[in-house]
């Protein structure tokens, strides 16, 4: 067995170590999500924690780790009689990102089914992790169907398996620990909320500390056992402190004053639901027990907030994580005296100047330009010299408007690439995958990679008499084997083609356009897409951002995007077509989705409308999935964006319809469904 790196030998990372230890003291805290860049000892610290956990008493021979003091009456290996069992170390079970559903929840025991003809359940990782740690490295890359199963088990403390003729329920209470690199995509909010605590980690910028990290790592690699022996004393001390804190935990008193501070803090940071309050209370209690106290103090509440709230507070997309500590201190000071049991503030009146600061959203960064016309045709309050088409003249410095801040991002409708692909794992479009949800069975073409047991048994069953089988068991031949067909989700290349010409330069309109694109970027970030940005204005188009996985870079380029000049729509489409051609050579399996953000106008140069139409029809000939976000506004609309969408072979949505909660979009979807049904 490999000797783990000692927990107490980890350099720095105080918050990470504290969060893990609090969960060791009180597993009801609910686990830890560790976010940070690669190479910051995330996995090392988590694996080292298991060696510090106290041993677990289990029923001898029970595959589901039942407690001999109170065995699960519904255990599949039961019933068990209460009594003596055996002691074993607490387990840390790792869930690989590419694990199958069978491996996670368990499945029919194939060996016994074929040899004995009986239906027997083979436990999965959820059963192995019961009363231990379930560790998911790169949890943000986990397939959605596995995330759903984890959510169910974490919420109910049990796993329910209904598949392949097997119906099993078993306990599955575990400490969920996940690590992730935020640059590779975000977690679904439902799973994010299931983690009790979150910690942001980063490599130290102190040379002395970095030297010590390297020194200890090299010493461990040279002699793991010897290195661990040198830290055995510190490990034993921490292990004993965990045991003492667990024994003290039931005696810790959470007074009304601390509860009031917890409730006020959660309300001040606008967290959803009540789970944050409960987690904060459990964390503060565990902090007091870890410190050897029986009373929860204000300092415990403060530390609990810093660990339990950053991933639950409402914040704008692309904001930096963390809490406003000044605001936190003000809230704790206002509600309840520190460390007092009575819970009543000596001076409940904060005074006339006690109102909180309106915050960063208290006022706009700049005043909107007055004089926006109802036509939405690009008229601005400070309009430069115009050309023959009514748009500002192109040229260096001529007709260029300063960058406009994006409007508040919103949750967008999900845009999909039609059909079924085979690209990299993600969360956008349907795809054939090796680890997705089983959707059917087929005869294998080539090597068998995923056996569909139920379909194989059904194929073999009618031939048993002819094959001379009369007793238990099953004779299976190669022709009976069936390959499981699975379907999951893939990530795509989302290429934004943004019109930055004068017709889009009205400040309010461009702010709304940037807000819409920012919202789509956030959606792409959460679905693990690659993104690219092409802009066109004046007389040409440019690749503002080549396809990349860094959505933050795309957001930064968008924020600084200037506007003005004519509308070279054809140049924008041709540039986008070239970007897709190069990307197709680099990554042929990743399907693209082109999002054209424009009002549909085409100006400048000879026959701009005809040229734009020919460029659009190139996409339809490939074909490439496309969506046109119609930015035209005002009472009189030309419908040019809709015509462009038709030439692209795609669909058009307005800025309002792009919102997930848009009534107009819902009506349009219902009408489309009705027409298809008719």
210-226 average pLDDT score: 91
| 454 and 574 share one domain | no
Q: What is the pLDDT of residue 534?
A: 94
Contact status, residue 86 vs residue 60, Cβ threshold 8 Å = yes
Q: Is residue 113 in a domain?
A: yes
Residues 213 and 563: their CA atoms lie apart, in Å, by 49
DSSP-H helix ranges across 291-321: 298-308
- Choose one of 167, 202, 237: the last residue of a domain: 202
For 291-344, write each residue's pLDDT tens digit. Answer: 999 999 999 999 999 999 988 875 555 555 677 888 888 999 888 754 444 444
Residues 590 and 117: their CA atoms lie apart, in Å, by 44
Residues 633 and 507: their CA atoms lie apart, in Å, by 13
Which secondary structure element, helix H or strand E, spans residue 512, and what is its range? helix 507-526
226-240 average pLDDT score: 91
Which secondary structure element, helix H or strand E, spans residue 114, and what is its range? helix 110-116
Q: Is residue 394 in a domain?
A: no
For 424-458, write each residue's pLDDT tens digit. Answer: 878 889 898 777 788 888 888 877 777 887 888 88
- Per-residue three-class SS string for 605-638: CCCHHHHHHHHHHHHHHCCCEEEEEECCCCCCCC
The three-state secondary structure class of 178 is strand
**Listed range (366-375, 416-425, 531-540, 621-630) with the worst mean pLDDT:** 366-375
For 192-201, write each residue's pLDDT tens digit. Answer: 777 889 998 8
**CATH (domain of 555):** 3.40.50.410
Find, among 226, 251, 236, the residue nearest to 26 by Cα.
251
Q: What is the pLDDT of residue 115?
A: 61
Check 275, 293, 557, 637 and give the catalytic one: 275
Residues 106 and 122: their CA atoms lie apart, in Å, by 5
Q: What is the pLDDT of residue 392?
A: 41
Q: Is residue 246 in a domain?
A: no
Contact status, residue 576 vs residue 582, Cβ threshold 8 Å = no
Q: What is the pLDDT of residue 557?
A: 85
- Dihedrals phi, psi of 286, to nearest 5 degrees: -65, -35
| 583 and 600 share one domain | yes
| 585 and 513 share one domain | yes
**Listed range (23-27, 240-244, 270-274) with the worst mean pLDDT:** 270-274
* Catalytic residue flag (residue 47): no
Contact status, residue 528 vs residue 141, Cβ threshold 8 Å = yes
Contact status, residue 522 vs residue 409, Cβ threshold 8 Å = yes
For 564-592, write each residue's pLDDT tens digit. Answer: 888 899 999 999 999 999 999 998 999 99
532-559 average pLDDT score: 87
Find, among 166, 134, 164, 137, the residue nearest to 149 by Cα.
134
The yes-or-no verdict on residue 15 having pLDDT over 60 is yes
The yes-or-no verdict on residue 347 having pLDDT over 50 is no
For 370-393, write each residue's pLDDT tens digit. Answer: 333 333 333 333 333 334 344 444
Split into its structural domains, the chain has a count of: 4
Contact status, residue 292 vs residue 244, Cβ threshold 8 Å = yes
Residues 171 and 648: their CA atoms lie apart, in Å, by 53
What Å distances lie between residue 76 and 115, 134, 303, 498, CA to CA?
A: 21, 21, 41, 58
| 511 and 625 share one domain | yes
Q: What is the pLDDT of residue 342?
A: 40
What's the pLDDT band for 366 if we cut at 50, 70, 90? very low
Q: What is the pLDDT of residue 505?
A: 63
Q: Is residue 307 in a domain?
A: yes
- Choose one of 422, 456, 489: the last residue of a domain: 489
| 188 and 310 share one domain | no
Q: What is the pLDDT of residue 646?
A: 93
Q: Which residues of 354-363 are buried (b: 16+ CB within 10 A; e: fewer)?
A: eeeeeeeeee
230-239 average pLDDT score: 91
Q: Is residue 377 in a domain?
A: no
The three-state secondary structure class of 470 is coil
The yes-or-no verdict on residue 535 having pLDDT over 80 is yes
| 555 and 611 share one domain | yes
Contact status, residue 474 vs residue 117, Cβ threshold 8 Å = yes
| 468 and 542 share one domain | no
Residues 600 and 631: their CA atoms lie apart, in Å, by 8
> Could you tell me which residue, 129 or 154, shows the higher pLDDT?
129
458-483 average pLDDT score: 83
Q: Is residue 645 in a domain?
A: yes
Place of tokens 């490990």: 235
Q: What is the pLDDT of residue 319?
A: 57
| 295 and 318 share one domain | yes
| 462 and 512 share one domain | no
Place of tokens 């599949």: 76
> Could you tell me which residue, 636 or 31, shows the higher pLDDT?
31
Q: 3-state DSSP: the chain helix, strand, coil percent, rounded to 5?
A: 40, 20, 40
Residues 13 and 42: their CA atoms lie apart, in Å, by 9
Q: What is the pLDDT of residue 176?
A: 87
**CATH (domain of 319):** 1.10.8.80
Residues 63 and 59: their CA atoms lie apart, in Å, by 9
Summary mean pLDDT of the chain:
80
For 180-190, write each residue's pLDDT tens digit. Answer: 877 666 676 66
- Structural domain of 477: 432-489
Residues 368 and 191: their CA atoms lie apart, in Å, by 39
Within 10 Å of residue 286's Cβ, how many Cβ atoms? 28
Residues 50 and 35: their CA atoms lie apart, in Å, by 20
DSSP bridge pairs for 136:
178
Place of tokens 């870890």: 290
Q: Is residue 381 in a domain?
A: no
Q: Is residue 339 in a domain?
A: no
- Residue 275 C-beta-side C-alpha neighbours within 13 Å: 19
**Listed range (21-30, 185-194, 549-558) with the worst mean pLDDT:** 185-194
- Per-residue three-class SS string for 628-676: EEECCCCCCCCCHHHHHHHHHCCEEEECCCCECCCHHHHHHHHHHHHHH
Helix and strand numbers, DSSP H then E, in the chain: 21, 19
For 111-124, write each residue's pLDDT tens digit. Answer: 666 666 666 788 89
The yes-or-no verdict on residue 356 having pLDDT over 50 is no
| 620 and 668 share one domain | yes
229-236 average pLDDT score: 91
Find, among 266, 270, 294, the residue nearest to 280 by Cα.
266
| 485 and 497 share one domain | no
- Choose one of 489, 520, 536: the last residue of a domain: 489
| 194 and 124 share one domain | yes
For 395-433, write each residue's pLDDT tens digit. Answer: 434 455 667 788 888 888 889 899 999 888 788 898 987
């Amino acid at each position: 067995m490999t000797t783990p790196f000692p927990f107490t030998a980890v350099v720095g990372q105080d918050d990470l170590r504290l969060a893990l230890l609090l969960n060791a003291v009180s597993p009801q805290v609910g686990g830890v999500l560790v976010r940070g860049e690669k190479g910051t000892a995330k996995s090392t610290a988590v694996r080292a924690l298991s060696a510090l956990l106290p041993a677990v008493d289990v029923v001898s021979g029970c595959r589901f780790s039942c407690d001999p003091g109170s065995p699960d009456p519904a255990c599949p290996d039961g019933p068990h009689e209460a009594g003596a069992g055996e002691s074993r170390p607490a387990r840390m079970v790792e869930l690989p990102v590419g694990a199958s559903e069978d491996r996670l929840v368990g499945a029919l025991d194939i060996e016994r089914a074929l040899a004995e003809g009986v239906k027997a359940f083979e436990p999965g990782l959820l059963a192995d992790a019961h009363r231990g740690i379930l560790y998911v490295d790169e949890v943000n890359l986990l397939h959605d169907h596995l995330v759903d199963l984890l959510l169910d088990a974490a919420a109910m403390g049990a796993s329910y398996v209904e598949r392949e003729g097997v119906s099993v329920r078993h306990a599955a209470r575990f400490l969920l620990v996940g690590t992730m690199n935020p640059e590779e995509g975000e977690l679904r909010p439902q799973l994010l909320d299931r983690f009790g605590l979150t910690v942001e980690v980063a490599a130290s910028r102190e040379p002395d500390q970095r030297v010590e990290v390297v020194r200890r790592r090299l010493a461990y690699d040279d002699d793991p056992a010897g290195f661990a022996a040198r830290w055995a004393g510190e490990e034993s001390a921490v292990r004993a402190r965990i045991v003492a804190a667990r024994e003290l935990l039931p005696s810790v008193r959470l007074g009304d004053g601390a509860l009031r501070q917890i409730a006020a803090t959660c309300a001040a940071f606008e967290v959803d639901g009540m789970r944050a309050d409960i987690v904060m209370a459990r964390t503060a209690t565990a902090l007091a027990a870890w410190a050897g106290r029986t009373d929860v103090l204000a300092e415990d509440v403060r530390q609990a907030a810093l660990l339990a709230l950053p991933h639950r507070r409402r914040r704008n997309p692309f904001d930096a994580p963390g809490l406003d500590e000044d605001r936190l201190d003000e809230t704790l000071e206002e509600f309840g005296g520190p460390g007092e049991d009575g819970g009543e503030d000596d001076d409940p009146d904060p005074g006339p100047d006690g109102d909180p600061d309106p915050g960063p959203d208290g006022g706009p960064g700049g005043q909107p330009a007055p004089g926006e016309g109802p036509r939405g045709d690009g008229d601005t309050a400070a309009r430069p010299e115009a050309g023959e088409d009514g748009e500002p003249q192109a040229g260096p410095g001529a007709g260029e408007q300063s960058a406009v801040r994006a409007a508040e991002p919103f949750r967008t409708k999900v845009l999909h690439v039609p059909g079924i692909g085979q690209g990299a794992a993600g969360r956008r479009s349907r795809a054939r995958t090796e680890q997705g949800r089983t959707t059917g069975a087929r005869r294998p073409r080539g090597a068998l990679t995923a056996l569909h047991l139920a379909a194989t048994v059904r194929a073999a069953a009618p031939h048993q008499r002819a094959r001379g089988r009369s007793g238990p068991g099953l004779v299976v031949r190669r022709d009976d084997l069936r390959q499981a067909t699975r379907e999951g989700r893939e990530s795509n290349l989302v290429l934004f083609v943004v019109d930055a010409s004068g017709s889009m330069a009205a400040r309010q309109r461009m702010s709304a356009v940037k807000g819409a694109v920012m919202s789509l970027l956030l959606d792409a970030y959460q679905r693990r897409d690659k993104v690219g940005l092409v802009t066109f204005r004046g007389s040409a188009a440019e690749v503002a951002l080549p396809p990349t996985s860094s959505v933050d870079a795309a957001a930064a380029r968008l924020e600084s995007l200037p506007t003005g000049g004519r509308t070279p729509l054809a140049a924008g489409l041709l540039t986008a077509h070239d970007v897709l051609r190069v990307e197709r050579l680099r990554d042929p399996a990743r399907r693209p989705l082109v999002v054209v953000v424009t009002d549909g106008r085409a100006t400048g140069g000879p026959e701009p409308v005809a040229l734009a139409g020919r460029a659009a029809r190139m996409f339809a000939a490939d074909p490439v999935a496309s969506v046109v976000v119609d930015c035209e506004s005002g009472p009189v609309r030309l419908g040019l964006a809709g015509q462009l969408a038709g030439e692209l072979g795609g669909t058009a949505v307005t800025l309002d319809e792009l919102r997930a909660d848009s009534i107009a979009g819902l009506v349009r979807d219902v009408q489309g469904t009705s027409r298809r049904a008719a």
